[in-house]
Amino acid sequence: MRKYLVSFDQGTTSSRTIVFDSFGRPVSSGQVEFKQIYPKPGWVEHDPRDIWESQTQSCQMAFRAGGIEWRDVAAVAIANQRETVLVWDKYTGKPVYNAIVWQCRRTAEQCLQLKSTYEKLVYSKTGLNIDAYFSASKIQWILDNVPFVRSKAEKGEVLFGTVDSYLIWRLTGGKVHATDYTNASRTMLFNIHTLEWDEQLCKLFTVPKQMLPAVFPSGAEYGMTTKESIGAEVPICAAVGDQQGALFGQLCVKEGDVKNTYGTGCFLLMNTGKKAILSKNGLITTLSASLSRPDYVLEGSVFIAGAAVQWLRDGIGLIETASESEALAQSVPDTAGVTFVPAFVGLGAPHWDSECRGMLYGITRGTTRAHIVRATLESIALQAFDVVHAMEQDLRSEINNLCVDGGASANNFLMQFQADILGVPVIRPKVMETTALGGAFLAGLYCGLYRDIESLQRETERRTIFKPQLDDVRRAEKLLAWENALSRDMYRPKS
Ligand code: ADP
């Protein structure tokens, strides 16, 4: 019986493969890091060969570790880093340039110029703010800067894809050029209302439509892998952007369901159902993973979350390991009036202040290392609170709970404080690899290995729930202290 799903999680710094069984339980995994290329300050690239090789190697590692064979595999799923751009030759499959990574700022200036005239238009069609982060200006950069590529693109001889498309292309031996709604919705060329590539936006970014992939729901048949590419013929039954993959992996499929991933930064995504809510509070609107027409999702990102803990460890040496922060924070009853604003690179959603920087406020002679560590962990939860609050205002209703994942969600103090400050339960699943799990759920539901979402819900019941315990007065005081520190940090004297 074909009882396994092979889920690829192609991330920014590493490629992973996790094999899941017919209950959605991880069986084995493999992970391979790959090179980050920084040709100039602010530029970030990946070698497409590294993406492919690290992905296939991680798959071999997972197979070896679990004694898995292809004949036991029902389907392959792909969850991937979003927005990253690849352009390759349709006939030879050879990339015309390195992958330009989502973090790359090379087109920042060009995006700034477009903003003044086209901001409203682009936002109303795509739900995104014009920024170098999204794919469109990066595709344009390749067309404008790599010799002969534009003329080839116009003749349909080169193809664009995000990482999912590129992997699908290679896995199917160049037969399928496709992507899914979640990845398409991050290109800034895709109309999230009509669910089609948008002529006007393609013109604005001078991208020939011939080079764009066909778009499907995340759970769909994307073609068969070939023996030459990966060693066997198996259907690819899911493609999904990593954050929407995690949202699906958390089974946040109903309106109002929200998850937060605590990694380097935080990614908060809320399912808003069939309504595309255009935010008044600095959030972006995007599409969900689905097996049919996608739902809409509000998304807000916090730039610095786990990275603040890294800074405590590597920057100022207050702790030796990230996990030590938990016991240290718990060793004091509160922060003794200290508030930390981790605006190392400015503040993301919902404040959008690129000028302000980190701040420790309220230090006295009595301040200790434990207070600073505690204030740092609290700041992660307080930033997430601000995004949730913005979502609630946009949605005009309150959330019932918060599903969590990512490296820093292992911190029990942080999760308890998050529940306390939000005033709702925080739910941490047993399987923390929610991105890969989301891919596996989509593929499994599509190919029939998983019966329905309800049965998956039963399987994911083993989880930790942090219930709010802080009284309302203390909670209000905490929020007031946070707002006070934020306003001081973001204050600019009038010149
Ligand atoms: P990413 O995918 O962004 O690399 P991960 O999900 O792997 O991030 O999480 C790593 C981040 O989580 C690091 O920034 C690290 O400092 C933080 N982290 C890991 N474990 C803990 C912990 N127990 N407490 C607080 N932060 C942690």
CA-nearest residue for atom 8, ligand 1, is 263
Can you count the helices (H) and strands (E) in the chain?
16, 22
Q: Are 377 and 411 in contact (CB under 8 A)?
A: yes
Tokens 């001889």 correspond to: 157
- Is pLDDT above 90 for 2? no
Taking the whole predicted model, whether its pTM rises above 0.85 is answered as yes
Q: Which of 456, 438, 462, 428 is nearest to 23 (CA)?
A: 456
What pLDDT, on the 0 to 100 scale, is given for residue 462?
74
* Strand ranges for 258-368 from DSSP E: 258-262, 266-271, 284-287, 296-302, 339-341, 359-361
Q: Please, which pLDDT band fits residue 251 given cuts at 50, 70 and 90?
A: very high
Task: Check whether 131 has a pLDDT greater than 90.
Answer: no
**CA dihedral sign, ordered 59, 64, 65, 70:** positive
Atom 15 of ligand 1, nearest CA residue: 306
Ligand 1 mean position, distance from CA 323 (Å)? 9
Q: Which atom of ligand 1 is nearest to the CA of 262?
A: 6
The residue with tokens 């990066």 is 138
Separation of CA 310 and ligand 1 centre (Å): 8
Task: Choose one of 411, 414, 431 to mutate for the ligand 1 pocket test, by most ligand atoms within 8 angstroms of C-beta.
Answer: 411
Of all protein residues, whose CA lies closest to atom 27 belonging to ligand 1?
408
CA distance 477 to 489: 18
CA distance 489 to 358: 8
Position 346 scores a pLDDT of: 85
User: Of 47, 51, 49, nearest to 32 (Cα)?
Assistant: 51
DSSP secondary structure letters along 160-203:
EE-HHHHHHHHHTTT---EEEHHHHTTSSSEETTTTEE-HHHHH
Query: Would you state the pLDDT for residue 170?
Result: 97
Q: Each residue of 408-434: pLDDT tens digit?
A: 999 999 999 999 999 999 999 988 889
436 CA distance to ligand 1 middle (Å): 17
The count of other CB atoms within 10 Å of the CB of residue 140 is 18
CA–centroid distance, residue 309 to ligand 1 (Å)? 8
Among 262, 344, 431, residue to substitute to test ligand 1 (most atoms within 8 Å of Cβ): 262
Mutate to test the pocket of ligand 1, among 264, 303, 432 (most ligand atoms within 8 A of CB): 264
Cα of 304 from ligand 1 centre, angstroms: 11
Residues 6+ apart with CB under 8 A from 346: 303, 353, 354, 355, 356, 357
Which residues, 6 or more positions from 291, have their beta carbon under 8 angstroms from its beta carbon? 217, 218, 219, 220, 442, 445, 446
- Which residue puts its alpha carbon closest to atom 18 of ligand 1? 408
Q: Is residue 352 a contact partner of residue 388, using CB atoms and an 8 Å limit?
A: no
Collapse the DSSP code of 287 into the 3-class scheme (helix H, G, I; strand E, B; otherwise coil) and give the result.
Answer: strand
pLDDT in tens, 275-296: 889 898 889 999 999 999 999 9
pLDDT at 460: 72
In this prediction, residue 336 has a pLDDT band, given cuts at 50, 70 and 90, of very high
Least confident residue range of 39-43, 394-398, 464-468, 491-495 = 491-495
Q: Is the pLDDT of residue 470 over 80?
A: yes
- Give the bridge partners for 86, in sequence order: 161
CA distance 110 to 206: 13
What confidence score (pLDDT) does residue 347 get?
Answer: 86
Do the strands 284-287 and 99-100 form a parallel or antiparallel pair, or are they unpaired? Answer: unpaired
Q: Which residues contact 289 (CB under 8 A, 6 or more apart)?
A: 180, 181, 182, 218, 219, 240, 241, 244, 245, 247, 248, 438, 442
The answer to whether 19 touches 2, Cβ cutoff 8 Å, is no
Model confidence pLDDT, tens digit, residues 39-92: 988 888 999 999 999 999 999 999 999 999 999 999 999 999 999 999 999 999
DSSP assignment of 9-49: EE-SSEEEEEEE-TTS-EEEEEEEE---B-SSTT--EE-HH
3-state secondary structure of 450: coil
- On whether the CB atoms of residues 252 and 396 are closer than 8 A, the answer is no
- Inter-CA distances, 134 with 37, 105, 146, 272, 354, Å: 19, 10, 19, 22, 18
The rounded mean pLDDT for the chain is 94
Q: What is the pLDDT of residue 270?
A: 95
Q: What pLDDT is recorded for position 432? A: 86
Which among 212, 149, 150 has a CA at the least distance from the CA of 177?
A: 212
Residue 271 clears pLDDT 80, i.e. is over it = yes
Q: Which atom of ligand 1 is nearest to the CA of 377?
A: 25
Average pLDDT score over residue span 87-115: 92
Ligand 1 atom closest to residue 313's alpha carbon, by position in its atom list: 16
End-to-end CA distance of the chain: 73
Interatomic CA distance for residues 63 and 68, integer angstroms:
5
Highest mean pLDDT among 40-49, 102-111, 185-194, 349-358: 185-194
**Residue 371 and residue 339 in contact, taking contact as beta carbons nearer than 8 Å:** no
Model pLDDT for residues 185-229, shown as the tens digit of each residue: 999 999 999 999 999 999 999 999 999 999 999 999 999 999 999
pLDDT greater than 80 at residue 494: no
The pLDDT value given to residue 453: 86
Which atom belonging to ligand 1 lies closest to the Cα atom of 309?
Answer: 16
The residue ranking higher by pLDDT, 457 or 313, is: 313
Cα of 351 to ligand 1 centre, how many Å? 23
For position 456, what pLDDT does the model report?
A: 83
Q: Spell out which residues line ligand 1, taking CB within 6 angstroms.
A: 263-264, 306-307, 309-310, 322-323, 325-326, 406-408, 410-411
State the Cα angle at 129 between 139 and 289, rounded to 5°: 75
Q: Would you say 402 and 347 are in contact if contact means Cβ atoms under 8 Å apart?
A: no
Q: Tell me what pLDDT residue 431 has.
A: 86
User: What's the Cα-to-Cα distance from 276 to each of 79, 245, 393, rounded to whole Å?
Assistant: 23, 19, 14
Which residue has its alpha carbon closest to ligand 1 atom 14?
A: 306
